């Protein structure tokens, strides 16, 4: 029928037979259904926020947030943190010479040591971080310069890394494993910590290098090609990243479970930081006994194998010792924020109460003349 000629929504339900006249059934169907949905009468909850309903909420929020905030603040304050900058910018710093004389070609590593004193003993497990400043791990060119399928143990990606890895994709015609800027710039300073006891002897503090990376990264996301045994063969035909001193299968030759792509230092590094100033977990100092603190107060020496140049981009290197609570590392922000918000809520509650009270009387008085 000619229905086509008109707006589709127009009613033109006349069948071509022309028998459209007086079809009672057709007419009846035109009556809209009386359903709650179609009549916009669905049962509905109609909350109206009033001072009356919100007031208690404000007080409750205030009452919950302030204690939480205090708890967070106290927890954060109880976390012991010690930080030492060992970049060696100033001439009087121990690592000054290492920092100044850095060259990519030197075969002998530059060593330096920093002495420091812990005023307070560190109880429980102590976490050792290295921190970098002004290091843009979140730069786009940097972040994308990796090949996750290569890191996942994919053999074809091993020999033919992703284009994203440029300009760290191949070296002398061989594919780089692990490719990319992130892997290439792996933090390779070695930090060793010694406690100097009262008679001046250096006691090496055992540093655990496992458990610093996310479990899922270590066990799923990062895989060595062809299992963890015989990595040398697996990585045959690949080149080491240009800035590395040793190939990937020698990252931790003593421990097969921590070698190659599943080396935890490497995995930690591969998780790019959010901000240009960041810290990454380096080692864990485990608590030995319940009686003695993990790190008693006193003098310590940090021995650094200075391999990582940061001065060229005005960066800084730090070593951080920190205990950890249920909320993570030391960060007073959350505690302060919670206390502030809680107080604001409480204050607003009081203000609202006053306004509410005042308004009611106003409203009544306004009603009278009308």
Residues 265-284 touching other proteins, rule: CB under 8 A, are: 268, 271-276, 278-281, 284
Measured between alpha carbons, how far is residue 273 from residues 24, 208, 288, 310 in Å? Answer: 73, 22, 31, 16
Looking up tokens 């310069």, which residue turns up? 145
Interacting residue with other proteins among 136, 171, 190, 194 (CB under 8 A): 136
Residue 172 C-beta: closest distance to other proteins, Å:
16
The whole-angstrom separation of Cα 249 and Cα 260 is 4
Nearest C-alpha neighbor of 87 from the set 314, 301, 280, 316: 316
Q: Does 337 bind other proteins (CB under 8 A)?
A: yes
Stretch touching other proteins by CB under 8 A, among 91-99, 197-205, 250-258, 344-352: 344-352
Task: Indicate which single residue of 82, 122, 129, 266 sits in contact with other proteins (rule: CB under 8 A).
Answer: 129
Residues touching other proteins: how many (CB under 8 A)?
126
Q: Which is nearer to other proteins, 248 or 321 (CB)?
A: 321
31 binds other proteins (CB under 8 A): yes
Q: What is the spatial distance between Cα 363 and Cα 264, in angstroms, rounded to a whole number?
A: 68
Residue 199 within binding range of other proteins, rule CB under 8 A:
no
Judge whether 182 and 168 are in contact, CB under 8 Å.
no
322 touches other proteins (CB under 8 A): yes
By CB under 8 A, residue 4 contacts other proteins: yes
Q: Which residues, 47 to 86, sit near other proteins by CB under 8 A?
A: 47-52, 54, 57, 61, 65, 68, 72
Residue 16 in contact with other proteins, rule: CB under 8 A? yes
Smallest distance, other proteins to C-beta of residue 307, A: 13
Any contact of residue 359 with other proteins (CB under 8 A)? Answer: yes
> By CB under 8 A, is residue 236 in contact with other proteins?
no
| Shortest reach from residue 329's CB to other proteins, in Å | 3
Give the nearest distance from C-beta 301 to other proteins in angstroms: 23
| Residues shown for the chain | 370
Task: List C-alpha distances in Å: 239 to 143, 158, 179, 248.
Answer: 21, 10, 9, 9
3-state secondary structure of 118: strand
| Nearest residue (CB) to other proteins, 201 versus 361 | 361
CB of 228 to other proteins, least distance (A): 18
- Residues 221/152, Cβ–Cβ less than 8 Å: yes
Q: Compare residues 130 and 230 and give the one whose CB is closer to other proteins.
A: 130
2 binds other proteins (CB under 8 A): yes
Backbone angles phi, psi at 130, to 5 degrees: -110, 140
Alpha-carbon Rg for the chain, nearest whole angstrom, is: 34
Q: Does 221 bind other proteins (CB under 8 A)?
A: yes
Stretch that binds other proteins, among 106-114, 200-208, 289-297, 342-350 (CB under 8 A): 342-350
294 binds other proteins (CB under 8 A): no
105 lies in the binding site for other proteins (CB under 8 A)? no
**Cβ burial 300-325 (10 Å sphere, 16+ → b, else e):** bbbebebbbbbeeeebbbbbbbbbbb
CA dist 2 → 8, 42, 233 (Å):
11, 39, 78
Interacting residue with other proteins among 85, 192, 217, 250 (CB under 8 A)? 217
DSSP-assigned letters across all residues of 200-227: S-EEEPP-B-SS-S-HHIIIII---TT-
Stretch binding other proteins (CB under 8 A), from 89-97, 105-113, 171-179, 209-217: 209-217
């Amino acid at each position: 029928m000619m229905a086509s000629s008109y707006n589709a929504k127009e009613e033109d339900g006349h069948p071509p037979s022309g028998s459209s006249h007086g079809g009672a059934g057709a007419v009846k169907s035109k009556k809209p259904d009386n359903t709650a949905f179609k009549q916009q009468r669905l049962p509905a909850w109609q909350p109206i926020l009033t001072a009356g309903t919100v007031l208690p909420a404000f007080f409750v929020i205030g009452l919950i947030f302030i204690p939480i905030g205090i708890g967070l603040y106290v927890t954060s304050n109880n976390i012991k943190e010690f930080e030492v900058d060992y970049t060696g910018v100033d001439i009087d710093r121990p690592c000054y010479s290492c920092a100044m004389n850095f060259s990519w070609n030197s075969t002998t590593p530059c060593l330096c040591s920093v002495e420091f004193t812990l005023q307070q003993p560190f109880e429980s497990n102590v976490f050792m971080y290295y921190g970098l400043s002004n290091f843009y791990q979140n730069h786009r060119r940097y972040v994308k310069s990796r090949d996750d399928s290569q890191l996942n143990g994919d053999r074809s990606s091993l020999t033919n890394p992703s284009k994203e890895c440029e300009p760290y994709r191949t070296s002398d015609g061989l594919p780089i494993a692990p490719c990319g800027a992130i892997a290439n710039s792996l933090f390779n300073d070695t930090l060793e910590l010694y406690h100097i006891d009262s008679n001046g002897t250096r006691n090496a503090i055992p540093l655990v290098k496992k458990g610093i990376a996310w479990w899922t990264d270590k066990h799923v996301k990062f895989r060595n090609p062809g299992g963890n045994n015989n990595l040398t063969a697996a990585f045959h035909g690949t080149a080491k990243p240009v800035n590395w001193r040793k190939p990937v299968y020698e990252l931790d030759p003593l421990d097969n479970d921590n070698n190659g792509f599943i080396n935890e230092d490497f995995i930690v590094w591969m998780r790019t930081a959010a901000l240009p100033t960041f810290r990454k977990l380096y080692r864990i100092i485990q608590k030995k006994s319940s009686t003695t603190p993990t790190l008693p107060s006193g003098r310590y020496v940090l021995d650094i194998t200075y391999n990582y140049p940061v001065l060229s981009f005005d960066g800084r290197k730090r070593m951080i010792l920190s205990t950890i609570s249920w909320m993570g590392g030391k960060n007073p922000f959350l505690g302060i924020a919670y206390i502030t918000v809680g107080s604001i809520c409480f204050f607003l509650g009081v203000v609202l109460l006053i306004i509410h009270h005042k308004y009611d009387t106003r409203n009544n008085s306004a009603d009278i003349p009308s």
